Chain A
Amino acid sequence: MRYLMTTKESVGAAAPDEKLMAEMAAFVEELTSAGVLLATGGLMPGGPRVASRGDDITVTDGPFTEAKEAVVGFALVECRSKEEAIEVARRFRRIAGDGESLIQEVFDGCGG
């Protein structure tokens, strides 16, 4: 099963220091070689927003005020179970410091 893990920025969190970066890199490396982590990346804040209503498509340029709700990172993981996905997220959070991650199962039984 695949899960998409998204991370929201936490208010007032300290900027990542060198130690955090090194730990995170090791963590990503480990999970990738174990075949758990399929894709991951950090996201730029803001960006254009595309909305549709009926036939109308509206494109709005960011940044947006509710920045604390913005997703700042994602990881696509392949896990045996939800519990395993939670365990992965738990490790991630331990390194990342304060904040919040959301785990959602990806539909379709593909990939294994």
Chain B
Amino acid sequence: MRRVTAEDDARAAVAAAWKLEAAKVVASVARMVHDVGLAEELAQDALVAALEQWPADGVPANPGAWLTTTARRRAVDHIRRAQRLERKREQLAHRCPGEPEADGDDAGHDSHDVLRLMFVSCHPLLRTEARVALTLRLLGGLTDEEIARAFLVGRTVIARRVADAKRTLAEAGVGFAMPPRTELAERLSSVLEVVYLIFNEGYAATSGDDLMRPGLCLEALRLGRLLAGLAPDEAEVHGLVALMELQSSRSAARTGPSGEPVPLHEQNRGRWDQLLIRRGFAAMLRAREAGGPPGPYLLQAAIAVCHAQARTAEETDWRRIATLYGTLERLLPTPVVRLNRAVAVGMADGPAAGLALTAPLAEDPALRDYHLLPCVRADLLHRLGRYEEARREFLRAASLTANAAEEAFLRGRAAAATTAARPAGMPTLGEAVRAFLERDGMDPGTARSYGQTLRRLCRSLGDELPLAALTSADVARVFALAWDGAAARTWNRHRSALRSFAAWASVGHVAEGIGRRAAGRERARPLDEAEFTALAGRPDVALRERTLWWLLRESGAPVSTVLALDVTDLDVRARRARTRGGEGWLTWGAGTAEWLPGLLAGRRRGPVFLAERRPGPGRPPAPGDLCPETGRGRLSYERAEYLFKQATAGHTLRRLRVGPRPPSRPSTS
């Protein structure tokens, strides 16, 4: 038997104690210094001190309390130093809590502090990856190295993300306050989103060779369980925990001996973890006790419950699952939810019904490269006996997934679906494209440009599609999906690439459906009334974007003109504004009028549309582009365009303008 040496022992104890206590230590210091980034650094100082002292002096009786006390002492030193330096003794006095008190004096604060820490590390100001990294570091006590390993990126990437996040929080003066009651729901959902994202990154590893990275699942489960203890009245928190417990319960069963995925209905249910299932059910009960209408996490957990309750795949209550997905789709009409509903309906009402639901999804640009769509379709086609189509969809799915184990599995299914052998000597689309691009006399620039067009064709239709089976309708569909919103020049470039390829491969007819677009038709088709109303009415659209979009829509004015408006240009009651330079007026209607006062929120000067945050020291904007009341700069065209593209899967803001409506002359003045 090997006995661990005292020193090894102490080092291991430091690392383990740190992971278990990090959240509490950081939170407790953050309450003193009101800056989460600084709090973490002070807490890290305590960790360093522990690494120095424990191996020599032995592990203290209560390692967590030792770390907290030491970190708080460092915080007091820091505050004193800051006071001396800045000579702001009076102003800071109320912030200084004095000496750290004896251990355990503030157990009551502990849980609130940790909850606040979660809110800050998942702050909507931060980009998603930054929230994830910061949360794992602050709440999970993970090192940059450990986070980097879990996400398969370099350590410096994570270090930078964390540093940027801390700076962003400090610059925005986020501090360490609980979010105001009005923002609580939104902020909580940001926390839930981060936790579930961490879980999913572990559960459905989107890249790499392993199908799962269990470490991340465990971190997410811990964060979820912790959150459930801190916010016990929130049904969605328990819903998320239930969902994660139930999904985890299947983790041992969902990969086969060589790492390949095992679909739910083929899993050995004896390998499902009953302990986690029971925990999931218990979390469900707590969610029900918390009350309120079921939210998206609770509904997804309810679906997981249906699976967990079925002793065999055949006993699954697909009818109920399809109904739950229907409810979920009304709350969360994402393409992925709609796809899952199609699967459930395919089980409840037969493959034809499921397949019909996937048809509109194939037209959705958001799912263009999502491998599960062809995967689901392939499965349904296979059950309908349409093997050749199934085979092609399996291959398409295989070419779209970034996960090696999954790709191998899908290729296997495609091979199994091959019934009729392809006639000898007939090339596939992929083969023909490769031969075309690699042929002699093709210059590299042209090959690159043509390659863009033709690879899109291959990705959308499948490399394995026999060239002879390619139809002009297939091609037209890909073109419409990929480039309908593009400029005429872009469209025509793709068109000539296609024509050149089709002529070379002697399948000229497939290019016939693609017409040339007049170069004058630069402006894309404006959104129609229904599209616009749906877009502007979406609950996830922020007030600023909503107001901007309405104003662009109703005024018909150019984007740059609208963004250049200052509050002093507006005549809110008359629903009009003087445009920059004073050469005319733009007017708006009821839609803009509904949101504009909320956006202005009493501001009397500065730009109407403001950036989310204050400008960094590196790029001071012109004084006219700075709001004297909030210190924030004018919203840039690039940012506005970016947000619109995010919201609409790639449309440009110009598509909001209904028609040319030049600024009108004032009728009276």
Q: Interface of A with B (CB < 8 Å)?
A: 33-36, 38-39, 76, 78, 80-81, 83-84, 86-88, 90, 94, 108-112
Contact = CB atoms under 8 A, between A and B. Distances in A.
A86 B12 contact: yes
Contacts of A108: 252
Contact of A109 (B16, B214, B249): B214
Contact of A33 (B59, B217, B226): B226
A110 B222 contact: no
Contact of A110 (B61, B273, B279): B273
The 5 closest A-B pairs by CB, nearest first: A35-B225, A110-B252, A112-B218, A33-B229, A87-B16
Nearest to B230: A33
Contacts of A90: 13, 59
A34 B63 contact: no
Contact of A84 (B16, B61, B224, B279): B16
A110 B225 CA distance: 18
Given A80-B215, A94-B61, A87 B17 contact: yes
A42 B276 CA distance: 21
A112 B248 contact: yes
Contacts of A35: 221-222, 224-226
A110 B16 contact: no
6 contacts: A33-B225, A33-B228, A35-B226, A39-B275, A80-B218, A112-B215
B251 interface: yes
Given A34-B226, A111-B276, A83 B12 contact: yes
A83 B15 CA distance: 8
Given A34-B226, A35-B226, A111-B276, A81 B252 contact: no
Interface string B262-288: 000000000101011001000000000
Contacts of B215: 80, 112
Contacts of A76: 275
A39 B271 CA distance: 19
Interface in B47-72: 59, 61, 63
A87 to B, nearest CB: 4
A87 B17 CA distance: 7
Interface in B219-239: 221-222, 224-226, 228-229
B275 A83 contact: no
Contacts of B17: 87
B13 A110 contact: no
A34 B202 CA distance: 19
Contacts of B221: 35, 112
Nearest to A110: B252
A111 B16 contact: no
B377 to A, nearest CB: 31
Contacts of B63: 87
B225 A83 contact: no
A84 B226 contact: no
Contacts of A81: 16
A86 B20 CA distance: 12
Given A38-B275, A84-B16, A111-B251, 14 more contacts: A33-B225, A35-B222, A35-B225, A80-B19, A80-B218, A86-B13, A87-B63, A88-B20, A90-B59, A109-B251, A109-B252, A110-B251, A110-B273, A111-B218
B217 A87 contact: no
B272 to A, nearest CB: 9
Given A81-B16, A83-B15, A111 B248 contact: yes
A36 B140 CA distance: 13
A2 to B, nearest CB: 9
Nearest to B217: A112
A27 to B, nearest CB: 11
A84 B20 contact: yes
Contacts of B59: 90
A108 B271 CA distance: 10
Interface string B96-126: 0000000000000000000000000000000
Nearest to A112: B218
Contact of B275 (A87, A109, A111): A111
Contacts of A78: 218
Contacts of B228: 33
Interface centre among A109, A111, A112 (most CB of B within 10 A): A112
A93 to B, nearest CB: 11
Nearest to B11: A83
Interface in B1-21: 12-13, 15-17, 19-20
Nearest to A35: B225
A79 to B, nearest CB: 8
Interface in B74-115: none
Interface string B455-487: 000000000000000000000000000000000
A5 B106 CA distance: 31
Interface string B1-43: 0000000000011011101100000000000000000000000
B16 A112 contact: no
B218 to A, nearest CB: 4
Nearest to B225: A35
A92 to B, nearest CB: 13
A22 to B, nearest CB: 13
A103 to B, nearest CB: 12
Nearest to A82: B12
Contacts of B218: 78, 80, 111-112
Contacts of B279: 38
A83 B275 CA distance: 23
Nearest to B253: A110
A107 to B, nearest CB: 11
A89 to B, nearest CB: 11
Nearest to A30: B229
B214 to A, nearest CB: 5
B9 to A, nearest CB: 8
A90 B4 CA distance: 14
Contacts of B225: 33-35
A34 B275 contact: no
A88 B252 CA distance: 25
Nearest to B271: A110
A34 B114 CA distance: 12
Contacts of B16: 81, 83-84, 86-87
